[in-house]
Structure 1
Amino acid sequence: MNRPTSQAINSPVPVFAFWVYLMSDLVLFASLFATYAVLKDNTFGGPSGAQLFNMPLILLATIILLTSSLSAALALQAARLGNQAGTLGWLGLTFFLGAAFLYLEIAEFSKFVGEGHGWQTSGFLTAFFTLVGTHGLHISLGMIWMLLSGVHVLMRGLNRHTALRLGQLVTFWHFLDVVWIFIFTIVYLMGVNQL
């Protein structure tokens, strides 16, 4: 089995590639926000965000996701200190909080569809489902990454390479939290305060 050499681990290429990916995600979300801004008032006679959004539920989801950002940072700190059990514990909590957030998002989508307000109902709902759903998809991918990272730590232990990869995972997770703060503000808060 070929192990990566220390030169390969220290190579700037994987780090650069990660940042290129993250910037491409930034462009993706910027375009989705722009699309939402254009279509948010196109309800086609259907309900608006003010009529649909359950703000206590959304606030709970926001608190859960922001808390998961803290637990992700603590997982990385534990990894840097060489604490394998702490790393796995904090990663596990982050995964659990991500799953709880995703459950609330899916429950919201299911409720809207069950009431006859699916993505095809209006331009507003198409933009809403696309933007929020894309964020949810990224949360799902982050959770898969977390599982794989946890298995890697469990099987191979902690080293510089693992800490680097965990740092990228945590950066990705923080990025998703920042995107959610914009979604919470632009979609939900501004949506319920429409005239």
Structure 2
Amino acid sequence: MNNDNNNPELVYDKEGNAHEVVDFNNDDIGSKLGFWLFLFTELMLFGSMFLVFSFFFYRFSHDFVIASSNLDLTLGSINTVVLLISTYFMGIASLNMKLNNIEKSKKMIYITIILSLIFLTIKYFEWMAEIHHGIYPDSEALNKLANGEILFFGLYFTMTGFHGLHIIVGIGVMLWAIKLINNKKINPNKSVVLENIALYWDLVHLVWVFLFPLFYMISFGGES
């Protein structure tokens, strides 16, 4: 074996072929594969919710259209733009780390965090507006509505709530990434963690791209 730190450690098989020894903690391919499997489970979670939404929308189309018209399309649109821009900055953060622009990478992560907080703040005011009008799970005002409208708002709070939880988790892991960068555990030669976070953020924005039209825009093509 070669113990020189500047050269890869090698082992030899029975045929005399050399193979590099890969440290478990530096297995970038394994890390990426594992994270893709995690993302697949997330897609199954949200995918099942989308299937439930589709089923009930088919059964209660008119009620869903009426309920959708009560949501604030302007705030939903602003949040869509905010999240799309945040995804751009997260991607730029990962790219700059590879290019050894460490401070710029950190700056891009901070911008992504700020945009994420803006998204959550807007969503908070949206929810508070609904709650102010008495529309929240199992409320008296909600229970007086048609069955389809009750189902719509139940799905709305559940699915946007899960998405908001993923935003909060994303902010947490981005702050963790900043700490790892400061400790040089994420660096231009070892940036798989940051790449995985960028992938996670892509999923977050992708889910919202589907949530936005389902909840906010179906009223445009609805029944008169």
Fold similarity call, TM over 0.5: yes
Q: Secondary structure at the match of 1:36?
A: helix
1:179 to 189, 207, 223: 207
CA contact (8 A) 1:49 1:192 kept: no
Query: 1:77 and 2:95 equivalent?
Result: yes
- Identical amino acids, percent of aligned pairs: 22
Conservation of the 8 A alpha-carbon contact between 1:36 and 1:131: no
- More divergent stretch after superposition (116-125 vs 86-95): 116-125
- The structural deviation recorded for 1:13 is 3.1
Inter-CA distance 11–56: structure 2 relative to 1 (3 Å threshold)? closer
Structure (1 or 2) with the larger CA radius of gyration: 2
Can you give the 5+ residue segments of structure 1 that lack an aligned partner in the other structure? none
Secondary structure of 1:48's match?
helix
Corresponding position: 1:94 with 2:94: no
Q: C-alpha deviations, 1:110-152, integer Å up to 9, x for none?
A: 1111211102331111111111111111111111000000111
- 8 Å CA contact 1:118, 1:125 repeated in 2: yes
Distance apart, 1:32 and its partner CA: 0.9
What is the aligned length?
188
Relative to 1, partners in 2 of residues 1:61 and 1:11: Cα closer, same or farther, differing over 3 Å? closer
CA offsets, 1:22-64, max 9 Å, x none? 000000001111122233438989x6111x2111111111110
1:116 paired with 2:134, answer yes
Superposed CA RMSD in Å reads 2.1
Q: Is the 8 A contact 2:79 2:119 kept in 1?
A: yes
Paired residue for 1:104, among 109, 116, 122?
122
Relative distance call for 1:116 and 1:67 in structure 2 (3 A) is same
Is 1:145 paired with 2:137? no
Q: Check the 8 A contact 1:72/1:170 in 2, yes or no.
A: yes
Q: Match for residue 197 of structure 2?
A: 169
Q: Does 1:158 align with 2:187?
A: yes
State the TM-score, normalized to the length of structure 1.
0.88
Change in 2 beyond 3 A, CA 1:56/1:33: same
Q: Which amino acid aligns with 1:49?
A: S
Give yes or no for contact 1:42–1:123 (8 Å, CA) kept in 2.
no
CA offset digits 1:148-178 (Å, max 9, x no partner): 00111012251433x1111000011011111
Pairing 1:16–2:45 present: no
Q: Is the 8 A contact 1:135 1:176 kept in 2?
A: yes
Report the structure, 1 or 2, having the larger helix content. 1
